Amino acid sequence: MTNNQPEPSPNRRLWLIILTRTSIALGAILLVAILGGVLYAWNFLNSRLAPLIESELEQLLGRPVEVGEVERFSWNSLRFDSAAIPATPNDRDRVTAEAVEVQFNLWRLLTNRTLKLNVTLINPDVYLVQAKNGRWVDTEIQTQEGEGTDFIEIELETIRAENADLVLVPTPEPGRPTGAVAIAQADGIVRFEEQDELIRFEVSGQPTRGGKIAIDGNYLPSTEQIGLAIAGQYLVASDISRLIALPVNLQAGRVDGNLTVQLDPKREQPVVIGTASLNNLTAQIENIPQNFVNTQGKLLFQENQNIVFENVSTRYGTIPVRIEGAINTLKGYNLSGRVTGVSIKNVLNTLDVEFPFPTTGTVGANLRLQGAIERPILTGSVNTIQTATVDRVEFNNLSTRFRLVPEQLTFTNIRGTPAVGGLITGSGRIDLQEPTELVFNFEAQNVPGNAIAQQYDTFPAFTIGDVSGTATIAGTPDNIQTIARLQAPQGTYPGTA
Tell me if 449 sits within 8 A of 488, measured CB to CB: yes
- Whole-number Å distance between alpha carbons of 485 and 466: 14
Model confidence pTM above 0.85: no
CA distance 250 to 319: 19
| Per-residue tens of pLDDT for the chain, all 497 residues | 445 555 555 555 444 444 454 444 444 444 434 444 444 555 555 556 667 767 776 776 677 888 888 887 777 788 888 888 888 887 788 889 898 888 877 677 666 777 788 889 899 998 888 777 666 665 555 555 544 445 567 778 888 888 999 888 887 777 677 788 888 888 989 888 877 788 888 989 999 888 899 989 888 888 888 888 989 899 988 888 887 777 778 889 999 989 888 888 888 777 888 999 999 999 887 767 778 899 999 999 888 888 999 999 999 888 899 999 998 988 888 999 899 888 888 888 887 777 777 888 888 999 998 988 888 888 999 998 888 888 888 889 889 999 988 788 899 999 999 989 999 999 999 887 777 788 999 998 988 888 888 887 888 777 878 888 898 988 887 788 888 888 877 766 565 65
For residue 325, with 0-12 CB atoms within 10 Å meaning exposed, 13-18 middle and 19 or more buried, which class applies? middle
The full DSSP string for 277-332 is: EEEEEEEEETT-SSPEEEEEEEEEE-TTSEEEEEEEEEEETTEEEEEEEEEETTTE
- CA distances 255 to 210, 233, 263, 333, 458, Å, are 11, 7, 22, 21, 59
Dump strand ranges (E) for 74-123. 77-80, 83-85, 94-97, 99-103, 114-122
Distance CA 189, CA 162 (A): 9
